A and B are shown apart, each in its own frame.
Chain A
Amino acid sequence: MAEYEVVHSKSPVFYPIYERKADLKHQTHYCPGCGHGVVHKLIAETIADLDLQDRTIFVSPVGCSVFAYYYFDVGNVQAAHGRASAVATALKRACPESIVIAYQGDGDLAAIGTAEIVHAANRGENITVFFINNAIYGMTGGQMAPTTLVGQTTTTTPWGRRPVNEGYPLRVCELLATLEAPVYIERVALSDNKNIMRARRAIRKAIELQRDGAGFSLVEILSPCPTIWKMTPTEARDWVAENMIRNFPLGVFRDRRLAMPGNGGPPQRSVAEVLGLTSPSLGTEAPAAATPTDTREWKMKIAGFGGQGVLLLGQILAEMGMREGKEVSWLPSYGPEMRSGSAHCHVCLSSQRIGSPLIEHPNVLVAMNEISLRKFAPSVTPGGLILYNRRTVPADLGVSNVRLLPIPAAELADQLGAAKVGNIVMLGALLELTGALSFATAEAVLQATVKNPDLLALDLRALQAGRDWARQLPREVR
Chain B
Amino acid sequence: MASEPRGRVQIDPNECKGCGLCIDACPPHCLVFTEELSPYGVHPAHYLGSGCTGCGICFYVCPEPGAIVVYRLSPPPKVISTTEASRAATL
Contacts and interface: CB of A to CB of B under 8 A. Distances in A.
Interface in B57-82: 57, 59-66, 68-74, 76, 82
A71 B89 CA distance: 27
A334 interface: no
Contact of B21 (A10, A36, A45, A237): A237
A34 B61 CA distance: 10
A449 B4 CA distance: 90
A82 interface: no
A197 B69 contact: no
B30 interface: no
A74 to B, nearest CB: 14
Contact of A3 (B74, B82, B90): B74
Given A4-B8, A8-B86, A197-B91, A234 B20 contact: yes
Among A35, A38, A40, A192, chain B packs the most CB atoms within 10 A around the CB of A38
B27 to A, nearest CB: 8
Contacts, number: 119
B37 interface: no
A7 B56 contact: yes
At the interface, is chain A mostly helix, strand, loop or mixed? Answer: mixed
A234 B21 contact: yes
B90 A197 contact: yes
Contacts of A42: 60
Contacts of A237: 21, 24
Interface in A226-270: 226, 232-234, 237
A90 B71 CA distance: 42
Contacts of B32: none
A5 B65 contact: no
Contacts of B14: 26-27
**What interface size band does chain A fall in?**
35 or more
A268 B25 CA distance: 58
Interface residues of B, number: 42
A255 to B, nearest CB: 19
Contacts of A40: 63, 65
A250 to B, nearest CB: 16
Given A3-B73, A197-B90, A234-B20, A10 B56 contact: no
Contacts of A14: 65-66
A33 B66 contact: no
B72 A38 contact: no
Contact of A194 (B73, B87, B91): B91
A300 interface: no
Given A32-B17, A38-B61, A233-B20, A4 B25 contact: no
Among A8, A24, A49, chain B packs the most CB atoms within 10 A around the CB of A8
Given A2-B4, A26-B14, A234-B24, A196 B70 contact: no
Interface in B1-37: 4, 7-8, 12, 14-15, 17-21, 24-25
A193 interface: yes
A44 interface: yes
Given A10-B66, A27-B17, A196 B73 contact: no
Interface in A150-174: none
Given A38-B63, A196-B60, A7 B54 contact: yes
A71 B15 CA distance: 13
B65 A233 contact: no
B67 to A, nearest CB: 8
A27 B63 contact: no
Interface of B: 4, 7-8, 12, 14-15, 17-21, 24-25, 40, 42, 54, 56-57, 59-66, 68-74, 76, 82-83, 85-87, 89-91
- Give me the 10 closest cross-chain CB pairs, A-B, nearest first: A37-B63, A32-B19, A10-B66, A4-B71, A33-B19, A8-B59, A32-B17, A8-B70, A233-B19, A9-B69
Interface of A: 2-11, 14, 24, 26-28, 30-38, 40-42, 44-45, 49, 71, 192-194, 196-197, 200, 226, 232-234, 237
29 contacts: A4-B7, A4-B8, A4-B74, A5-B76, A7-B7, A7-B56, A7-B70, A8-B56, A8-B59, A8-B69, A9-B59, A9-B66, A10-B66, A27-B40, A31-B17, A32-B42, A33-B20, A33-B63, A37-B62, A37-B63, A41-B62, A41-B63, A71-B65, A193-B25, A196-B60, A200-B60, A232-B20, A237-B21, A237-B24
Given A8-B60, A37-B62, 19 more contacts: A2-B4, A2-B74, A5-B76, A8-B69, A9-B59, A14-B65, A26-B14, A26-B15, A32-B63, A33-B63, A35-B63, A37-B64, A38-B62, A38-B63, A193-B57, A196-B61, A197-B90, A234-B21, A237-B24
